[in-house]
């Protein structure tokens, strides 16, 4: 057997550690990766910080139902949801208008601060989810995880959103009444509490004992009326 002499070194046949590795380092033509950045949630609402909350600015809130659930625009389910809306009213969190569609609902809310908004919406969604699941004899999620909201800072925004919420059934080509076409406000909305219609006042008083919706602040109650015309029952929302 040959032995290494003083002038010879034995080298292992195994790969050495250290040194430049094959294909190491920055990739050539590296650029922005596809779908990089903020991930979009499965419910379709990006998890971005919400706008600052002020009790002077109403907010448009949209709640979407999970897929595969029954339509909400029936007397039984509509009454169940409106009962929950009335029960969710708080001094620091007020629901002043609403509209129930087949698979989503729109709310106009006023909250004193961020904590009041978060707590009020959590209480409302939990209450509705429990009630509907009981009626549907099921368990599981009713709403997608995160609700969408936006602050209404200008009076023009207020008028546009009032039309959008109260006449939302026209956008979706839904009947205003479960029994058929009607010249009255949408039965599945708070239109009966609204006094800004063309040629008619409110049928019910917001904030009164037994009312579903709370009395609104200045912007919704009277502010927008000083600069913009009343809303027609046939005005199709453009928002």
* Structural domains of the chain sorted by starting position, each given as residue range(s) with its CATH number in brackets: 59-226 (3.30.70.1290)
Q: What's the pLDDT band for 223 if we cut at 50, 70, 90?
A: very high
Cα–Cα distance measured from residue 39 to residue 45, given in angstroms and rounded to the nearest whole number: 10
Q: Which residues of 195-229 are buried (b: 16+ CB within 10 A; e: fewer)?
A: ebbeeeeeeeebeeeeebbbebbebbeebbbeebe
User: Tokens representing 65?
Assistant: 């139902």
Alpha helix segments (H runs only) across the chain:
75-87, 114-136, 155-166, 168-171, 218
CB of 35 within 8 A of CB of 112? no
Mean confidence (pLDDT) of the chain:
86
Q: What is the pLDDT of residue 32?
A: 56
Beta-carbon count within 10 A of 234 CB: 9
User: Across-strand partners of 232?
Assistant: none
Cα–Cα distance measured from residue 104 to residue 185, given in angstroms and rounded to the nearest whole number: 19
Model confidence over 171-204: pLDDT tens digits? 987 877 665 556 789 999 999 999 999 999 999 9
Q: Which residue has the tokens 């009607």?
A: 182
Average pLDDT of the residues in 18-38: 60
User: Across-strand partners of 104?
Assistant: 64
pTM of the prediction?
A: 0.78
Q: What's the pLDDT band for 238 if we cut at 50, 70, 90?
A: confident
Average pLDDT of the residues in 207-234: 97
Cα–Cα distance measured from residue 208 to residue 219, given in angstroms and rounded to the nearest whole number: 19
Q: What is the pLDDT of residue 147?
A: 86
Q: What's the pLDDT band for 66 if we cut at 50, 70, 90?
A: very high
């Amino acid at each position: 057997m040959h032995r290494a002499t003083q002038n010879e070194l034995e080298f292992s046949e195994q790969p050495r550690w250290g040194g430049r590795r094959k294909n190491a380092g920055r990739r050539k033509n590296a650029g922005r990766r596809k779908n990089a950045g903020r991930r979009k949630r499965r419910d379709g609402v990006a998890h971005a910080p919400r706008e600052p909350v002020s009790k002077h600015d109403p907010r448009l809130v949209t709640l979407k139902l999970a897929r595969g659930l029954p339509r909400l625009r029936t007397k039984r389910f509509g009454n169940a949801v409106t009962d929950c809306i009335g029960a969710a009213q708080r001094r620091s969190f007020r629901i002043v208008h609403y509209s129930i569609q087949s698979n989503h609902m729109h709310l106009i809310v006023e909250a004193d601060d961020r904590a009041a908004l978060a707590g009020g919406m959590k209480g409302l969604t939990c209450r509705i989810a429990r009630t509907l699941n009981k009626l549907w004899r099921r368990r599981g999620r009713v709403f997608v995880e995160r609700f969408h909201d936006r602050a209404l800072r200008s009076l023009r925004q207020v008028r546009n959103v009032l039309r959008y919420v109260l006449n939302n059934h026209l956008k979706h080509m839904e009947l205003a009444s479960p029994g058929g076409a009607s010249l009255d406000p949408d039965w599945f909305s708070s239109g009966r509490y609204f006094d800004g219609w063309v040629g008619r006042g409110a049928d019910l008083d917001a904030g009164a004992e037994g009312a579903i919706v709370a009395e609104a602040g200045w912007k919704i109650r009277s502010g927008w009326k000083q600069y913009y015309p009343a809303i027609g029952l046939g005005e199709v929302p453009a928002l």
